[in-house]
């Protein structure tokens, strides 16, 4: 069993999709956009989809993510190169570019590293996107 999280506290077992999945997503989006003026509906649609992407990629606090990248870099330098990285390596444009690149995620990406699971996630995400974009 692998469950994904979607906005509004929705959790879905990707191997046991509820029969009312479309209704669950439509209701969640309706709640999400409640109170928004009609001319801003597309902003809500794109924000909802972006939030799905963040949740599926397990995006966390930015500072925690950067700290994790720093730990990974430190571990790599020690294990692979046999030396401690200098502080300047973390203050470099190259490291900052690495952090920026890590923060850019695509809708199509590896979520778990298991392509069978990732394919199911992408199929569900495409379904969510269609439901949200078709919402009136």
pLDDT in tens, 90-106: 999 999 998 888 777 66
Higher pLDDT, 105 or 66: 66
Same domain assignment for residues 78 and 55? no
pTM: 0.74
Same domain assignment for residues 16 and 46? yes
Say which DSSP state 10 is in. E
Helices (H), the chain: 21-33, 41-56, 62-76, 87-90, 93-103, 115-134
pLDDT of residue 98: 87
Q: Which domain holds residue 50?
A: 1-59+113-136
Same domain assignment for residues 117 and 53? yes
- Mean pLDDT of the region 32-53: 92
What average pLDDT does the structure give for the chain?
90
């Amino acid at each position: 069993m692998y469950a994904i999280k979607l906005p509004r506290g929705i959790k879905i077992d990707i191997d046991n999709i509820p029969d009312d999945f479309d209704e669950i997503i439509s209701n969640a989006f309706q709640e999400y956009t409640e109170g928004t003026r009609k001319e801003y509906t597309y902003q809500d649609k794109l924000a909802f989809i972006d939030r799905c992407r963040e949740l599926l990629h397990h995006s966390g606090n930015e500072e925690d993510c950067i700290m994790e990248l720093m730990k990974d870099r430190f571990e790599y330098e020690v294990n692979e190169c046999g030396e401690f990285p200098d502080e300047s390596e973390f203050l470099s444009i190259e490291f900052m570019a690495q952090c920026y690149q890590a923060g850019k995620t695509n809708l199509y990406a590896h979520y778990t590293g298991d392509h069978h699971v990732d394919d199911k996630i992408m199929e569900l995400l495409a379904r969510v996107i269609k439901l949200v974009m078709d919402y009136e």
